[in-house]
Amino acid sequence: MICQFQRTIKRPISIEGIGLHTGKKVKLKLYPAKKNEGINFIRKNTLIPAKIDYAHSFDYSTSLMKDGVVVKTVEHLMAAFYFTGIDNVFVEIDEEELPILDGSSKEFVEAIKKAGIETLNEEKFYAVIERPVQVINGDKFIKAKPSSITKFSYQADYNNTIIGKKVFTYVPNDKKSYEGIFTARTYCFLEEVEYLRSVGLAKGGSLKNAVVFHNDNVLNEEGLRFEDEPVRHKVLDLVGDLYLLGYPLVGEVFSFKGGHRLNAEFVKTLLKENAFLIKPSSEVIKTINENYRNAGIKI
């Protein structure tokens, strides 16, 4: 989301649901925050900044931890904050895992829009990629390069006729790609379910909050929301995980078969290699919008 000023929510938001992996009922409350306070989770009287420094676990989701207090599966809400341009908010949670809801960011985005978005009297800051950077793990990789048009792309590589080797690219502020990403649901294969539950995961998973594949079939009665929904969801996860950098990225990012662990490694590499500069919106937004228009992207 390309914005000039920082944002928060106008009113508190309450959301209830179950955790995908814990299966526990959870209550989530979002509260407005002041400028430059950032995104922070609150659990057991512990404030956990939504920053990569506190990233803790990456097995089928992204978790944060501070002083032994854990908050799990933050990526869909983090993506919703990115999609709506939220920079500052407090997220209070009464259990260890955020609610999975329908498996996408849809209900988070809708709740934020319903509560209203407050524009704050402070410039927004962006992390502008200055030089190419990449991380590689076996046959998986994520690479990024400077670009005046921000793009987040994901390419899958499944031996499955539905997902296959599809690619999806999300361009912030491009209406078409935006509308086709935040509603994309998480997914798994039926043969994975038994394993996940044997290691204490997916206890709250069902056809109501995930797309389930068996061989080349979709088990959900309603089918897919998009023919490439799984790949779109991978981009959603990528966006949510990258927002743990603390700033929205300006640049082009391409992920091949990446997941939460590689996403986190990529963010850490950006920091380690000083591959970006933090710039206020006044230095970047005019150029960004001009390049979007020149490229024929509707904003």
- Interatomic CA distance for residues 232 and 195, integer angstroms: 25
| Exposed e or buried b per residue across 229-260, where buried means at least 16 C-beta atoms within 10 angstroms of its C-beta | bbbbbbbbbbbbbbbbbbbbbbbbbbbbbbbb
Q: Does residue 233 contact residue 61 with C-beta atoms inside 8 Å?
A: no
Which residue in 21, 76, 233, 260 is the catalytic one? Answer: 260
Select from 9, 208, 194, 195 the least CA-distant residue to 100: 208
CA atoms within 13 A on the CB side of 84: 29
Written as six digits, the tokens of 215 are 């061989």
- Interatomic CA distance for residues 38 and 36, integer angstroms: 5
Written as six digits, the tokens of 253 are 């990012």
- Interatomic CA distance for residues 261 and 59, integer angstroms: 7
Q: Does residue 17 contact residue 26 with C-beta atoms inside 8 Å?
A: yes
> Is 76 assigned a catalytic role?
no
- Interatomic CA distance for residues 195 and 59, integer angstroms: 13
Q: Does residue 175 contact residue 298 with C-beta atoms inside 8 Å?
A: yes
* Contacting residues for 79 by C-beta, under 8 A, at least 6 apart: 105, 182, 236, 237, 239, 240, 243
Q: Is 109 left (phi over 0), alpha (psi -120 to 50) or beta?
A: alpha
Determine phi and psi for 14, rounding to 5 degrees: -120, 130
Catalytic residues, which ones? Answer: 260
